[in-house]
Each structure stands twice: as structure tokens, then as C-alpha cells.
Amino acid sequence: MSVAEIYETMAYGPAPESDAEALDWIAGHGGRFGLFIDGAFGDPGAMFDTRNPATGAVLAQVTQASGADVAAAVAAARRAQPGWEKLGGPGRAKVLYALARLVQKQARLFAVLESLDSGKPIREARDIDVGLVARHFYFHAGLAQLMEDELPGARALGVCGQVIPWNFPLLMLAWKVAPALAMGNTVVLKPAEWTPLTALAFADLSRQAGLPKGVLNIVTGDGAVGEAVVAADVDKVAFTGSTEVGKAIRRAIAGSGKALTLELGGKSPFIVFDDADLDSAVEGIVDAIWFNGGQVCCAGSRLLIQEGIADDFHDRLRARMAKLRVGDPLDKCIDMGAIVDPLQKGRIEAMVAGCGGEVTQGDAPQGCFYPPTLITGLEPADPLMQDEIFGPVLVGTTFRTPSEAVSLANNSRYGLAATVWTENVNLALDIAPKLAAGIVWVNGTNMMDAAAGFGGVRESGFGREGGWEGLRAYVKGPDAKTLKPVAAVAAPDKAVVEAIDRTAKLYIGGKQARPDGGYSRPVWSPKGALLGHVGLANRKDLRNAVEAARGAAAWSRTSRHLRAQILYYVAENLSARADEFARRIGDMTGAKAKDAEAEVSASVERLFTWAAWADKYDGRAKGVPIRGVALAMNEPVGVIGQFAPDEAPLLGLVSVVAPALAMGNRVVTVASGAYPLAATDFYQVLDTSDVPGGVVNILTGDAVGLAAQMGGHMDVDAVWSFSSADISADIERESAHNLKRTWVNQGRARDWGDAAAQDFLAQSTEVKTVWIPYGE
């Protein structure tokens, strides 16, 4: 092609990136990699091939780890952990800083290896992935430096087992390894079977940073190795991958006491309003769904376009699709590279085959490539509108009004990310809080940074990676004592019945309700006196209570000031009946009068504390490196199921209900099984304190019988348990149905004299990060 022809057509010529240094690095290891355990590569064992998806050529052979190998890696991490933590935050910061610098010095090697191994375009690996990897290690070096001042009393969890996916192999390593190491943990990491090379290169590099042996261990292999890591003697599991595997992990470690964070799938909406800059929005779509070939958990794969501009927008989008270049990932002029593996390409083809709607596709070469695809005219319930494709396939429908856009956007079991495109900032900031998503981008997409938390809600998982909020997943407080079971007072041989029979009802939707099953049980004092009866709630009562809590959603939208005022009013009314509550606690528990009075006084004080917090738990404007802001907003979790503690019948109840209400949640609380009458008296206080019906629902009955029902209820967003009954495992196991958050005591006691404000604030809120770029 002559120069004149090039100017005429403006065609792109090839701009290939050399793979020589990357291949030399592989050759330097003999093309065969052992496991990286205790600071060294072991001898290669049973091998499998890792291939270049663009060509099918074998890049290297990598060891398939055995169960014994995983155990050896965990043992090495366990030996190294005390010394690594003892090094202190400033000492660890120096090592993390060195890792960041080394990543920058070897940026081109990492970028080419990533492109070769995963098939992503070299300019994405070079300009986005590797830069963010260095940024994460720099940022977490700073957090390590500040840990002792900003997180006083926080301690490392111990050994972290981490399993990462194939779409961002090196970046996912950084997201997981950097915070774990910064807080003093050690790591056993399992990279994806299809893309292990950059993890091995990072392990090789880590020795130059002075990372002590055993602090980082890399075990390679298939899904069986990931299962072994999850099942091993680790203190925390961090997983990024499919929702189905995330649910399996949740069930597998239920009741083990292992901490867990899950970053799972998504079906993120990309909402375009009729006042949007359409050409800009089209470019946003290119970045949202065709970045990394659509193999992105937060890809904007559902296009919701306002009806009046739909035809024009689709025409512009199809014209842009026709110009996308698909081909050799090492060509710097390529927009889309290869799909990571023929198996993944086959999954994409199978999902698209036979779909409804109008299908438009671009061009793609033969081999493990898939063309950019647009499918319009689908119904919201169509499988392609609901299921994650994980490929370069954009599906779409239309909406008429903003409220319909929100309804369509939230019509998904996922809740990872969302994009809003409009020139009206008022509209954008009205829509963003209404979207069920952990991240919302305004007039942009796929913006990420180490300072801003990343993570989802619903079946997109729980926990955050990045920012201060991401550190909570890697630290713990002081060790707690074993919680002794607290049993109800048994019926005496000789009963004392002095008062008229009174059966306390359940409290559902702001009204007292008889238990559906028609059963109740007596409550006895230690002196043999019959204090009354309480109803025994069953699954139907739980269902009714959850429905009432769902119906009280307006509480989450009330002003924080109003929530504070109501909590202050509850405290006032409880204080007015302090003597009555103290007598009740003494009668139920046998406590001395002064101890019972102290518990009531502490309960009033606790309500005042949470009233004070209601309008003071602020979000943050994150210091992200863009011309704009990333707002970390603390939102209510939703409906929280609670099992109140037995050992402090009133203070424990107030301590779990009040923080949830202060942050805008609604609760379904199962009262102390041993001493339930404090809770049934307390709802009388709620009735006189302007608490809207359905905001607090109180059940009495058997915690063991209700635990699995609460854990598995699809309309409950989180479950807390402080019961002395052995129900933690049941709650965690059943929570896998919709991947709700759980906070359970694992049989450990809590000091109810301590408000533990930061713990309860974090558990009562979800952090939503709203990215707002500005400027023309």
C-alpha cells in the first residue's frame, strides 16, 4: 500500500510488539515451571500445557499441584506468618514498595506475558493492567505504613488462601495479595489453569524485593487445586470467579470460622438517557463490553436505551462496531484479541445460538476469536438478559422513563456494577443510589483504582477489594473466649404461679401477632415462678416478618436526622420504664438488682450512642487519579435477620437492633431463647416511639429451628447471629442460596459492654462507589 493510499483509506498498519524477552524468560526456566513454595521454585511435577489462545502454540508446561503440595504451601505460609506480622507495618511497607517498583521496571515483560497467555490486546495489558498492579502495591504499601495508627488493635488473620480467575491474572493477584501482605498475612495463591504465567513471573520477581520465604506461595493447576486451597488449614478464603463456584465455596467452609470474600459474576446495566452525548456513549459501550473481549465480570453487557433515541443510537453503535479490529493480541492497533480458550469460545457460541432479537456481528479471524456482537429487541426475561455470557456480546432493550430504567436495571440476580450516561447531573445522582450495584459509573465505565473499593451485592458476592474498606477483610480484633450455651430455666418440680396468665405474642409489621403454629412455651424464673408464656415462631411467621420488613423499605430512604430522632425517643421511653425492665431481667436471670439496673442503663446509653451515629457515619471522596471524584457512599444493607445474644437479654437485643436501624436497615430479630421476655417488653417501647411498622420485627422461639430458614430466605439480605446455640454453620451454609452476607459468632463470646461501633457500622452498611468524572 502506497503512502497516498494510506492517507486515502486511513487504514491501520500492523504495529507488532516483540515477544522475544517474554519467550526468553520462559526459556530461562526451561519452559517448565514447578510450584513456588517457601521462597523457591520446586522441581516440576505432573505437567499441563499453557497455550497462547491466539495461535494455539504451547507457551510452557506448568505443574499440576497435588493435595500434598497445597499442604506444604500452607505449612510454609504458616511458618512465615508470625515473623512477617512482627516485622510491623513500616517494615512490610518497604517490601510492598519494592514490589511496586519492580513491577514498573519489568512492566513490558509482564504486559507481553499477559497478552501471550490470556489473549488480551497488548495495549490493554500494557496501559491498564500492569499500571494498576503497580498502583495497588504502592497504595497498600502506604496502608501498611499507616496501619498501626489508623487501625489500632487490628491484627492479621493469618494464612490466606486465594483463588483468582483468568481474565485479569496479574491484576487479580495484586488485588488479593497486596492487602493481605500489607496487613501482615501470608498467602497461598492459586492462579487460573489457563493463565498461570504472570503469577509465576511475579513470584520470581518477589525474591528481588526482599519478600521473606513462605510469605507468598503459588500453587498451579486445575479446579481441584482450588478446592484443595479452600479446604486447607487457612484462615481466610478470597475468591474471584463464577457465582456457581462462589456458592460452592460458601457451603464448603460453612461453620469453619474461615473469613470469606467473594467477587463473582455480573450482568451490569449500561443506561443511556435521551439527553446523553450519544457519540460519547457509543465509545463508552466499546470500553464497557468489548474491553478484554467482554471477559470482564463488571462488563456493561445489558444496554438499556431510552426509547426515543434507540434507533439512532443503535445505528451509531453498529457503525462503530464495523470499525473494531479483532486479531493478533500483540498488534498494538488491535481493539479485541483472542478469547482465552476454545472452551470459553464454545460457551459463548452456545449461549448466542438460537437467541431471539436482532443480531449484528462484526468481523473476526479464524481461530479462538469471537466477533463483537450486538443483540437488540430482547425481553427483560430473556436468558441472555439475565445470564452472564462473559464474552463480547452486548444485549439490549429499551425503556421510557427513569423509574422504568431503574426497574429494568435491578431486574437481575447480580449487582456488581452499572453505568449511567446523561448530561443531566441531577438525573445521574438521582439514579445512582437507586441501582442495586456496588459500583456506579457516571458517563464512564470500567474506572478502577486501588483507593476505591470494588465489589458487588446480591449474587455478585460480598466484600470489597481496594480502599480502606477492603482492609477489613484481612484483619481481626482480639481473640474471643468460647461462648457457653445459655439454656432456658427448666420447669421446676414445684411451680409458683401468682399472676394472671400472660402469653407474649410475636411482633410483626408493628402489630402483635399470634404464632402461626399455635404453640407456646412457659418462661420460668430461677426461683420457680412462672413469668409468662412466649409464642414459638415457625417458618410462616418468619415469612410474614420478612414480608413486613420488605414493606417498610421507606425507612431506608428516611433522613438520617429523622432516624436519630426516633432512636433518641426509644431511649427516652426505655429510660422511663427502667425499673420495670430491671425487675424483668432480675426475674428471668436471677441477676442482682444492681446488675439488672446496670444492664438497663447500658441499654439506654447504647440507644443514645446509635442515635448519635445515625447521621455521622460519613462516606468518603476517594483520592483516585482521574479528573473527577469517586464517592464511597454508605448505604443500608436492606433486611437483616438477627439472632440476639442470650447472655444479655436486653443489652444484647438493643446492641444488634439499634445499629441496624441507625444505618437505615429493617430487622427481623429472633429474641434470646433463654430470656425472651425482655424482647417482648421492648416492642411495647417501640410502639410508643414512632418506629414505623415493619422496621423492627421480633420473633420468639427456637433459634436452631429458625436458623436454616433465616439463612436461606431469598428476601433477607444479611444474617447476624450472636446466639449461644450452635447455628453458625447452618446460617452460612444456607446463605449460599442468594449469597447474602453473614456475621456469625462461631461459638465465640462478645463483650456487650463494648459498643464495637466500627464493627457494627461496617456490618450495617454496603459501600457503593459512584465515579463521577468532570470536564468537557
Residue 12, pLDDT score: 74
User: What is the pLDDT averaged over residues 549-576?
Assistant: 97
User: What is the pLDDT averaged over residues 127-146?
Assistant: 97
Burial class (CB in 10 A: 0-12, 13-18, 19+), 172: buried
Condensed to tens digits (0 to 9), the pLDDT of residues 384-393 reads 999 999 999 9
Alpha-carbon distance 413 to 394, whole Å?
Answer: 18
Q: Which of 85, 114, 227, 263 is the catalytic position?
A: 263
Tell me the β-bridge partners of 337: none
Tell the residue number behind the cell numbers 499441584, with chain if given.
65
HEC profile for 648-667?
CCCHHHHHHHHHHHHCCCEE
Q: Which string of DSSP letters, residue by residue, matches 322-334?
A: TT--B--TTBTT-
pLDDT above 70: residue 1: no
- Ranking 7-16, 389-398, 682-691 by mean pLDDT, the lowest is 7-16
Alpha-carbon distance 593 to 590, whole Å?
Answer: 9
Its CATH class, for the domain covering 20-263+471-476, is alpha beta
Model confidence, pTM:
0.95
Query: Torsions phi, psi of 290, nearest 5?
Result: -105, -5
* 479 vs 603, residue with greater confidence: 603
Condensed to tens digits (0 to 9), the pLDDT of residues 357-386 reads 899 999 999 999 999 999 999 999 999 999
CB 711 within 8 A of CB 720: no
Nearest to 247 by CA among 644, 712, 721, 769: 712
Q: What is the largest CA-CA distance in the chain?
A: 108
Distances (CA, A) of 70 to 189, 217, 299: 10, 9, 33
Q: How far is CA 755 from the centre of its chain?
A: 25
Query: Torsions phi, psi of 66, nearest 5?
Result: -100, 175
Residue 356, pLDDT score: 85
- CATH 3.40.605.10-classified regions of the chain: 20-263+471-476, 503-627+636-765
Decide if 148 is catalytic: no
Condensed to tens digits (0 to 9), the pLDDT of residues 323-356 reads 999 999 999 999 999 999 999 999 999 999 988 8
Alpha-carbon distance 496 to 753, whole Å?
Answer: 33
Condensed to tens digits (0 to 9), the pLDDT of residues 420-469 reads 999 999 999 999 999 999 999 999 999 999 999 999 999 999 999 999 99
Distances (CA, A) of 135 to 142, 164, 340, 773: 11, 19, 25, 20
Buried b (16+ CB within 10 A) or exposed e, 266-286: bbbbbbbbeebebeebbebbb
Average pLDDT score over the chain: 95
Task: Give the strands of the sheet with 696-699, arranged side by side.
Answer: 511-513, 506-508, 696-699, 666-670, 639-643, 718-721, 741-744
CB 487 within 8 A of CB 674: yes
- Domain 269-445 fold: Aldehyde Dehydrogenase; Chain A, domain 2 (3.40.309)
Burial class (CB in 10 A: 0-12, 13-18, 19+), 315: exposed
CB 621 within 8 A of CB 452: no
User: What is the pLDDT averaged over residues 739-755?
Assistant: 96
The C-alpha cell of 67 is what? 493435595
Alpha-carbon distance 143 to 87, whole Å?
Answer: 15
Structure confidence at residue 493 as a pLDDT band (50, 70, 90): confident
Domain 503-627+636-765 has CATH 3.40.605.10: yes
